[in-house]
Chains A and B, each alone.
Chain A
């Protein structure tokens, strides 16, 4: 029996930028009010009045078939399930943030509020295992009022995407982003505007990590030690940055700096 490979299909021609997916994810996964696992990207409004164009894309973790986050992780905090979802284990994470640098889509986000104290460094989409293994669609997909987001088996969605392009070649760019990019992703994208304008990187079909993994295999022991040192430094810097940022937003000088700055 072949294993179903879970995937998403996002169609930018159908997205109305209503953000129901973002709120649904936020509630389902109990995301704090100042954080999110889904973002809106795209051109916003492009052109000059009255020749205008809109185009938005919502995206979260692409659940790559060859996840760069996973190969960059020195402590195996990332795992890829046989059926697709790429998940993160906070108990193993040391906070080195290699995954953040490795991900070509900028998905893993460092949680500055928890960090070292609580051990949960990184936040990203989980693929809603509590839903997909209970006959429900992922939270973002389930609520989409226009079916701009769909969920299903990867092969089936790729087929559907190509059929849609074939039926309306005037409406789409003849390409399914994620079918081959970076060795393939589980978040597939159809669009009427160039993928680069949606903010998607132009990636080769050979996964980036096909090369890097060989190197990484030799460097894990080294990375473990060095990662710990780096993360200590990083946490310190992060704490300072956070204070500064919070202060900037409140238009006040951070405590401890007020005297020095006078």
Chain B
């Protein structure tokens, strides 16, 4: 009766480098700090509250320590992102900390770049080399010749201190490869990055590509399933029959790139049939009349042609959505960088929500991650940076926040020396070689650099190609700055001592800053002092926070019906966009489509993996599926391909070989692969050469408004390898 048989397990065991029991991976050092703080008994046993870092949702953990080793992670019931539960990645976290492939000392490259030959070094030597190279680049070419990139994490504020105090404008984050379109659309419409959503009492949920059952945001996924269990209707729009589609009352396998047409038609019906919330619209929004005047051409019949969804289905969904309002919710999705028209799609979804007046019912204001309740170390003002950013923000992309950036354009302009030559790259907790589309180009950009340093926990591909690797302690071994969440701030604290000679990001950035002559920007003695300075205004002691896992402070009362837009209202018509000469109302933009014989290349999520850094986790490998490329059975038989065939997938920028998964769960004009596989680094013994990399074949296209990489706008041919 099992669909995963014992034989499959043996196969998976073969994929993992070694057959070890989870508890026997690497012998762990004694949890000294925890023991000294009195959380462990004389035998070294205890449960320590901390925060997960297997994705960016940051669930609360209770780490069970026995005899100085982490033996189990459980969800912390006190923390709203976990509510006592963990997803598969969170459960597998200790296999990341005890990964035999951990980098345990600073490494200096001795072979050619990418050859993987390094020698061990002391921290003093490694940081000296990094600082010396960075200072030389600054002196010779100016600070803008140094590129800095990092993916969202709790210590990012100190990473940004290095960036800004050193004086470079060039900052690459993961956001343009993920959700720039959603963030910028929310800011234009609501004046905030992402409103909070509530599923309590929701009766109708429209998910556009938000695959919550596989792209798990622990608490939100649980709330969605609760809502469905309580009888809410869920309509799911996606070219793939994902596990979320399996939970939906209705699956709409829309033609890729046409979600905008679908939503414009919904707006058309809701306005022409006067199904909107007139009271809410007149009180809290601007630009409705202009929208009403411009939406007439977007009829359901027009959209049916484009989307492949029947006009009556669109009419019915509009009716059902407004019938359920205000207990209705249209979810923007998270990874919204699909097509160059994705920004318009996002704007249409934000407006759909506004028209039915679900504000205060299923959508709420949400602040940023900075909290007024916490302190921070003092620091001088940053030096002025006068050089243009290489990624075109804001001079080419005026609406893209500086903290988001346009990573793929940064990489392209490094290759073009436009508007100047880049000479160095400092990377922290990120794997750009795997994540930026068109990997060949990223490798060329790496090859152009005089110097590359990478802060990493394991030997990810970008570290494999670096000159110096600075080994970071894992999230179970270090402090990070406190994480504000509502009226609380949660702590990440070391459950065990850092293994080998690894250090926290707070330590690394402070010591690097001092060597760079910008020590004034790092006015804390150590990690504990940093947290003490954060806690100073609360009057709560660090010991108390460490024992409890969080600190509580009074939350500021803000008017939920005041939006941080130029008008102070929800802007259906965006004056900001209009003033800059962009479409101030959502308009149809025709996306490119594959030629005959080509397929849309779709990527998405698997519940066992996060982006480009978890594939080496042995426990996740153990229970994950084999990374294959999906194709509809009809398309496969037309091409004479069978399940598990090795196929060659070709786009205009590259070629990969990967095994085929023939399935019914995808449109016949699409293929799908889970991103993050196909690692280059031979320092990853579980993940090396497993599956193929989507970045090898992804073509770079950037949405001119939000700077989003259009990740589904790559067309491929498939043939037997």
Contacts and interface: CB of A to CB of B under 8 A. Distances in A.
Interface in A41-63: 41-42, 44-45, 47-50, 52-56, 59
Given A35-B9, A49-B253, A52-B245, 6 more contacts: A22-B88, A36-B4, A40-B3, A52-B251, A168-B229, A245-B7
Interface in B2-32: 2-4, 6-7, 9-14, 16, 18-24
A142 B74 contact: yes
Interface string A1-29: 00000000000011011111011101110
Contacts of B665: 45, 49, 52
Contacts of B1: 39, 41, 59, 105-106, 198-200
Interface string B377-408: 00000000000000000000000000000000
Nearest to B247: A16
Interface residues of A, number: 58
13 contacts: A16-B214, A16-B247, A19-B88, A20-B85, A27-B23, A33-B19, A45-B665, A49-B667, A49-B668, A52-B241, A146-B225, A168-B229, A249-B14
A142 B86 CA distance: 9
Contacts of A42: 3
A147 B222 contact: yes
B329 interface: no
Given A40-B3, A42-B3, A146-B225, A27 B619 contact: yes
B26 to A, nearest CB: 14
A23 B3 contact: no
B607 interface: yes
Nearest to B19: A33
Contacts of B607: 16-20
Interface residues of B, number: 69
Contacts of A148: 225
B663 interface: yes
B618 interface: yes
Interface in A109-152: 109, 136, 139, 142-148
A174 to B, nearest CB: 17
Nearest to A43: B3
B623 interface: yes
A54 B214 CA distance: 14
B296 interface: no
B88 A28 contact: no
A49 B71 CA distance: 44
B419 interface: no
Q: Which 8 A-B pairs have the closest CB atoms?
A: A54-B246, A199-B1, A34-B13, A16-B213, A39-B2, A146-B225, A18-B607, A23-B91
B2 A40 contact: yes
A262 interface: no
Interface string B627-644: 000001110000000000
Interface string B249-281: 001010000000000000000000000000000
A99 B666 CA distance: 42
Contacts of A35: 9
A39 B667 CA distance: 29
A20 B91 contact: yes
A159 interface: no
Contacts of B221: 16, 145-146
Contacts of B247: 13, 16, 54
Given A39-B4, A105-B1, A32 B75 contact: no
Nearest to A57: B1
A30 interface: yes
A31 interface: yes
A234 B86 CA distance: 41
B225 A32 contact: no
B690 to A, nearest CB: 15
B109 interface: no
A127 B348 CA distance: 50
B2 to A, nearest CB: 4
Nearest to A11: B229
Contact of A55 (B73, B84, B246): B246
Interface string A219-262: 00000000000000000000000000110011000000000000
Contacts of B618: 33
A45 to B, nearest CB: 5
A250 B10 CA distance: 11
B620 interface: yes
Contact of B20 (A16, A27, A28, A32): A32
A14 B225 contact: yes
Given A19-B623, A33-B21, A27 B72 contact: yes
A34 B225 contact: no
B218 interface: yes
A54 B19 CA distance: 32
A249 B10 contact: yes
B315 interface: no
A33 B222 contact: no
B216 interface: yes
A148 B623 CA distance: 18
A18 B87 contact: yes
Contact of B21 (A18, A32, A245): A32
B57 to A, nearest CB: 11
A17 B85 CA distance: 15
Contact of B623 (A23, A54, A109, A200): A23
Given A18-B607, A27-B22, A41-B3, A34 B9 contact: yes
Contact of B622 (A17, A33, A105): A33
B663 A27 contact: no
Nearest to A47: B664
A105 B665 CA distance: 29
B661 to A, nearest CB: 11
Contacts of B19: 32-34
Interface string B542-585: 00000000000000000000000000000000000000000000
Contact of B213 (A18, A47, A105, A245): A18
Contacts of B720: none
B664 A48 contact: yes
Contacts of B632: 49
Given A20-B91, A109-B6, A147-B222, A45 B241 contact: yes
Contacts of B620: 23
Contacts of B705: none
Given A19-B623, A34-B19, A50 B9 contact: no
B664 A45 contact: yes
B3 A44 contact: yes
B622 A26 contact: yes
Contact of B216 (A14, A18, A28, A250): A18
Nearest to B71: A27
B597 interface: no
A33 B92 CA distance: 12
Contact of A54 (B12, B228, B241, B634): B241
Contacts of A22: 88, 623
Contact of B663 (A45, A139, A142, A246): A45
A205 B75 CA distance: 38
A26 B619 contact: yes
Contacts of A33: 12-13, 16, 18-22, 618, 622
A142 B623 contact: no
Contacts of B506: none
Interface string A141-180: 0111111100000000000000010011000000000000
Interface string B61-77: 00000000001111100
B711 interface: no
B440 interface: no
Contact of A142 (B23, B24, B84): B84
